[in-house]
Each structure stands twice: as C-alpha cells, then as structure tokens.
Structure 1
Amino acid sequence: MKKSDSTSNSAALPNKNSSQQPSHAIILLASGLSRRLGKAKQLLYKNGVPLINHMLQLAVSTNPQVIIVVIPKNKASIASEVAKLSDTHLHIKTVINQTPETGMGHSLYTAIEALTQFVNDKDFNYEAVERVLIIGVDQVLLDLEHVNGLLAGEHLVAASAYEPWQLLDTLAKNGHIECKAEVKNETKNPIVGLPLVIDYQLLKQWQFHISGDKGLRHLIRALPPSEIRTVFNKQLSYDVDTPEQLAYAQQQAWVDK
C-alpha cells in the first residue's frame, strides 16, 4: 500500500509510551438510507456475511476500547445483524439515528455524543481513549492493513486519500450486463476523508461544527499541514452508492451476487 505523508513528525500527539499504541475507539457510520442504491447497503453481502457485520469484524480486529455503530431508526433487519456481534463483543454499542435523512454530519454528531457518554460513564471502566477511528460501511475494499496504517501515526488527524472514480458505458453482451470503470487520475488533488483517525479531544471540540451533511472535511482542510497525515489507497475509490456501482462491485466479486 502506497503512503503519502503530507507532514513531518512535528505534530505528534502526546506519546505516553512509544512502544504501545495509544488506545482508540471506533465510530462506524452506518445510518445512511441508501436512497440512490434502492436497497440497504448495510445488508449487502461480502464473503457470505452482511456488509455491516464485515465492517464490524474489521473494527473488532483492531482491539478498540469501544465501537459506536450508528444505524437508522425503524430498520430492524440492520439492528438484528449488529446484535449478532454485540451479543458476543460487549464493547459494540448501537446508537439509533432518529433522523437519518439529515445526513452524515448528524450521524457523526450523534456518534460523538454517545461516545462521550460511554467514556465518561464510570461503570464501563474504559481506559483513556486517545484517538477515534471513523469508518463508513460502503468502501468494500477497506482492509486491516489500511486501518492499521492510519492508526500507526501520531498526528492529530490521519486521513485516507483516494481518487474519484466513474463508471464507463454499460455494455450488454449475450444478455449479460458488463460494467466498466476507471479511476480518474487526479493524484494532485485526491479526495481526503474516511476512514480517518482523529485525536479524541479534537473530535469533541469539532462536534458542534458538524451538522446535516457537513462533516469533518472542511475542518480537516483548515488544519495546518503539520497536523495531518494522509495515507493513499486507490482501493478506497470504490464505494457502492448506485445500482451501477453495485453491479460493477459484484462483477469484480468485491460484493456477493
């Protein structure tokens, strides 16, 4: 995996023990309504399991203090899939987004609020959470190597960088639909966003600047270059937002048919 650091190591978080990775929490944003896709992307299957469970298993493998998973209201099938894992992994906490139509910003705000409550609850006896890994549910090629790359640094923010992609013409051959895609070559101005790792105290400060569809991107862009590190990963270009993108992902065997 290619990495591209935009900074030196001058903007490090407090490092209590250089041989020990700072403890972290995870926010999994999974409350989207998948309107363009026409079906719940959380319940698409990858390697025989629902996508939301696949992402939760990936999150669990990083050994976080707690996982906050935000799901939409009135979606019993999604809640049921999360419960299958939360019953065996007690550090998975489900949060219901009562207004999922509001956008990702509100979902993230809700997650930060829940995380703060859990961290401050003495009954849970969490160790100090220093950083938060934030991931979505539809970057179907996200893997542990990339997540560990984000967690490995000490900057205030470690964000993913990737290029936009588009589907080309869809071709029908012998009744079979074949999709083609390309990643635009825009490495000079890549998308910088999720998944990302952020200092917990900074995330709490930013909470009240998040609303609707307005997430963290504008706040990250305002940071001095010395405080952000980017990890480039072309595979993150491929998400699943539309039926055409889903067809392509299935054609590539990234998602089960």
Structure 2
Amino acid sequence: MSAPNHAVIVLASGLSQRLGQPKQLLNKNDEPLISHMLKLALTTKPKVISVVIPKDNLLIADVIARWVTKEPKIKTVTNPNPEIGMGHSLYLGIESLTQLANSNDSRSDLIERVLIMGVDQVLLDLAHLCQLLDGNSTVVASGYGSWRLLDNDKSEKGLKERPINNIVGLPLVIDSALLKQWQTTLGGDKGLRHLIRALPPDQIKTINNQQLSYDIDTPAQLNYAKAQDWIGD
C-alpha cells in the first residue's frame, strides 16, 4: 500500500428500515459490524476517520464513543436527519474533514485522498482496501453486481439470484479536492455514482470484487449471511 496520506469516511447512519434492526450492530467476528469496519479502516493507517452515525441510537453511539476514547484519530459525526439518505450522510462526512482543516489541525494538510466506506459489505477485507489505495487515478472505485434475496423463495436459485446490472461504487478512493468540489451536489439519496460515471475514462479505475455484492438490507439476506457464517447470531 502506498504512503498513508488519506482520510476515511465511514457512512454508518442508515436506519436499516428494511432489515428491521440496526445493521451497524450485527455480529461480525464477535463484535458489532461497525467495529469490524472501523478496524479495517484503521489498518489502512489514515490520518483521520470520520464515522457518520444516526442520532438517537444510544447503542451505536456507545460503540463509537468507546472507539473514540482509545483511538483519537476517530471522529464522530452525528447525522440529525438520517432518513434523508446516504448523500446527506456523505455531505456531513465531507464537512467534518473541512472543519478539521479550518481548525488548523496539521493532519488535514496531508490529506490528499479520501477512502469512503459503507458498513454492511460483510465480505470487505483489507486486501481490497489496499488495492483501492494503491491506485493512482482520480477515483478508484469498487466494481460488483447487485444481489437480492426473494423472501418468499427459499430455493437455492432464489437465494442467489443476481440481476445483471453492474455497480461501480463503495468502497472507493477519491481525490480530496474533487470530493470537496462535489460536496454541494450531494443530498438525499443522490450520492457520487452519477458524478463518477461522468468522469473521463482516464480519471477512474475500477477494482472488481464480486464479494462486495453481499450487503445486508433484508431479513432474508441476513439469514443467508448467517447460514454462510459471514454474520454471527
């Protein structure tokens, strides 16, 4: 992995309405899933990590507070309106890095790129994050397919059905100046994907990893992940 000149934004303020329970607190390797993701982020040796969490969830806030106590580079960003969508969450994460720069924190002078992660790609690993950070394009994004589980179809075919459409998205690494430039266009569920697609081909690199297809949005997906031992009880 190249020299650590990056920050990390962990987007973890989703309300998990389809799942019916906070995905941030699912059990991954005997710890909350959000802790697992923070460990991955820390292993990339960033200058700072901004983790965006929803307001009014004391359990998530408690997990993050314990991390902040022992890891000063982790900063908590509370999203007062998590129902608005991921675009707003990302806006708040970018704003936290801007505030760091305005505070004359010397770390902000060294931040050239930003790694943006979600919290529910349960098979994400350090090797993939290192590949993203080793890329030298303006944007280095992840490529994978979408997946869905049919709650009323318990067959093997139903469990593994994958639509054809391909995704270029999180996690990704982006030039920090460009990310700041794009901040004002973010809002609601409108994130980076349409902006990335509009870039010239020589400014974006895609690292394919089909394991990233497996996120957790529904009870059926969670049950499947448990059956594969990706998530614990």
Same fold, judged at TM 0.5 (above): yes
The equivalent position to 1:201 in structure 2, one of 177, 184, 188, is 177
1:69–1:94 Cα contact (<8 Å) kept: yes
Aligned to 2:125: 143
Deviations 1:154-183 (A, max 9, x none): 100000000112325215xxxxxx895325
1:42 aligns with 2:24: yes
Q: Which amino acid aligns with 2:83?
A: E
Equivalents in 2 of 1:183, 1:125: separation in Å?
48
Identity of paired residues, percent?
58
Number of aligned pairs? Answer: 230
Equivalents in 2 of 1:236, 1:28: separation in Å?
16
The equivalent position to 1:86 in structure 2, one of 48, 68, 80, is 68
Equivalents in 2 of 1:179, 1:94: separation in Å?
41
Deviation at 1:85, TM superposition (A): 1.4
Deviation at 1:21, TM superposition (A): 2.3
Deviations 1:62-116 (A, max 9, x none): 0000000000001111010011211111000000000000000000001101111
Secondary structure (helix, strand or coil) at the match of 2:41 reads helix
Structure with greater Cα Rg = 1
Gaps of 5+ in 2: none
Deviations 1:134-166 (A, max 9, x none): 000000000000000000011000000001123
Q: Which amino acid aligns with 1:63?
A: K
Equivalents in 2 of 1:75, 1:179: separation in Å?
36
Equivalents in 2 of 1:179, 1:110: separation in Å?
40
Equivalents in 2 of 1:179, 1:47: separation in Å?
28
Gaps of 5+ in 1: 1-18, 172-177
Q: Which amino acid aligns with 2:78?
A: I
Aligned to 2:194: 218
Whose RCO is larger (CA < 8 A, sep 6+)?
Answer: 1
Secondary structure (helix, strand or coil) at the match of 2:135 reads coil
Deviations 1:2-35 (A, max 9, x none): xxxxxxxxxxxxxxxxx95250000000000000
Aligned to 2:154: 170
**Greater share of helix:** 2
1:43–1:50 Cα contact (<8 Å) kept: yes
Q: Which amino acid aligns with 1:224?
A: P
Equivalents in 1 of 2:50, 2:21: separation in Å?
23
1:133–1:198 Cα contact (<8 Å) kept: yes
Aligned to 1:182: 160
Equivalents in 1 of 2:157, 2:42: separation in Å?
33
Deviation at 1:128, TM superposition (A): 1.4
Equivalents in 2 of 1:183, 1:224: separation in Å?
32
Root-mean-square deviation over aligned CA pairs: 1.7
Q: Aligned pair in 2 of structure 1 residues 63, 22: CA closer, same or farther (>3 Å)? A: closer
Deviation at 1:120, TM superposition (A): 3.0
Aligned to 1:125: 106
The equivalent position to 1:233 in structure 2, one of 193, 209, 217, is 209
Aligned to 1:13: none
